[in-house]
Amino acid sequence: MISKLFKSRTAARTATSVVPEGQRVYAVGDIHGCVALLDELIALIDADDAQRGPAETTLIFLGDIVDRGPASAAVIERLRDLAATRGSVRFLLGNHEEIFLGALDGEPKALRLFCRIGGRETVLSYGMEAAEYERLDYEELVHRLAELVPDEHRAFVSAFEDMIIIGDYAFVHAGVRPDVPLDRQRSSDLRWIRDPFLDHRAKLDKTIVHGHTMTDEVEHRGHRIGVDTGAYASGKLTALGLEGSDVWQVQTTGSPDPGPAA
């Protein structure tokens, strides 16, 4: 059943794009509320980073840190701590964060979509009992979200970026509209686009590193690299490593996340 959740899009990878000298980048795919996998991956990244020697290392989280998995609140808190305690850590706003923020603001369309695409798990991760969630109507849910979600979490997620460019790479959540220059992309496309981008075959202004569309393994297409390996379903949370023209990956090998240990 799980295999049906993934699109199979495979191709030989290339290494024609370059990160500026002295820099190293780890781009982390969609976490979706899997805090144990996040903790495991950060430890793997730290070990990988240390054995590669000195560099200016940047961690980029490609969005969709919430929903579906069991521990979105814990993921946000871990990432807040990470950003406060180490050098360069940057975050992209995914479509799930967009909907989460809309739900917190009481937007009716966002709230309904939030509840359909894994928001229930996010709400429960903030301490609500399942029985209470089931009996609330949308208006009541908005009031309870305001009580349960700390202002610090809302402010943290609200500050996420739309696009990050480093060297020959552009990092976005979902993709780009291929016929539009990078500096004129719409945020809705950066967070939601699929086939107009995924089916594109020609070279783009930058090599696009993205999440959003699940694949069994990291998907190398030359002009784009997909890093969403479906952590909440597969137990594989992946970081793409980039330095100079080198490209590699760091990946967990565990089971789907059972939730926070504490």
pLDDT, tens digit (0-9, with 9 covering 90-100), for 139-171: 999 999 999 999 999 999 999 999 999 999 999
| CB atoms near residue 202 (< 10 Å) | 8
Task: Enumerate the β-bridge partners of residue 243.
Answer: 246
Task: Read off the pLDDT band of 253 (50, 70, 90).
Answer: confident
Q: What is the mean pLDDT of the chain?
A: 92
Amino acid in position 100: F
pTM: 0.92
Of 1-15, 47-61, 117-131, 197-211, the poorest mean pLDDT is in: 1-15
Q: Which two tokens stand for residue 109?
A: 């369309």
Q: In what order do the strands lie in the sheet with 169-171?
A: 164-166, 169-171, 207-210, 224-226, 219-220
- The residue assigned the tokens 């579906």 is 68
Element (H, E) at 26: strand 23-28
Whole-angstrom distance, CA of residue 112 vs CA of residue 101: 13
- pLDDT given for residue 8 in this prediction: 35
pLDDT at residue 11 tops 50: no
What is the chain's alpha carbon radius of gyration, rounded to the nearest angstrom? 18
Using alpha carbons, select from 17, 15, 26, 5 the residue that is nearest to residue 238.
26
Whole-angstrom distance, CA of residue 221 vs CA of residue 70: 32
Q: What is the mean pLDDT of residues 189-198?
A: 96
State the DSSP code for 199. T
Higher pLDDT, 16 or 240: 240
pLDDT at residue 192 tops 90: yes
- pLDDT given for residue 222 in this prediction: 86
